[in-house]
């Protein structure tokens, strides 16, 4: 059984993180339609995350279960 670990967010995490953000946002929009629609798109979510990652004043972390972002 893999252990969930937490580590710094890296550029290589962008695609998997964008998929998770978009999926969660689609579910959240079902309950709260006032939320912006754009983040339900993986490309838009990836762009947002990449912008945050490129900002030297932001930091992030990811949870990893084996080799998969959780």
Query: Above 90 in pLDDT, residue 1?
Result: no
Cα within 13 Å of Cα(23), Cβ side: 7
Whether 33 contacts 25, CB under 8 Å: no
Task: Write out the H or E segment, with its range, that includes residue 65.
Answer: strand 61-65
For 2-9, what is the mean pLDDT?
92
Whether 9 contacts 62, CB under 8 Å: yes
Question: Across all residues in the chain, what is the average pLDDT?
Answer: 95
Confidence of residue 67 (pLDDT cuts 50, 70, 90): confident
- Rg of the chain, C-alpha, whole Å: 13
What digits encode the pLDDT tens for the residues 30-66? 999 999 999 999 999 999 999 999 999 999 999 999 8
For 1-10, what is the mean pLDDT?
89
Helix 14-31, helix 42-54: angle, nearest 10: 120
């Amino acid at each position: 059984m893999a252990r969930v670990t937490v580590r710094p967010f890296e550029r290589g995490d962008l695609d998997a993180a964008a998929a998770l953000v978009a999926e969660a946002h689609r579910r959240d929009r079902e309950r709260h339609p006032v939320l912006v629609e754009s983040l339900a798109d993986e490309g838009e979510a990836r762009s947002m995350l990449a912008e945050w990652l490129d900002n030297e004043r932001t930091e992030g972390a990811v949870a990893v279960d084996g080799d998969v972002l959780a």
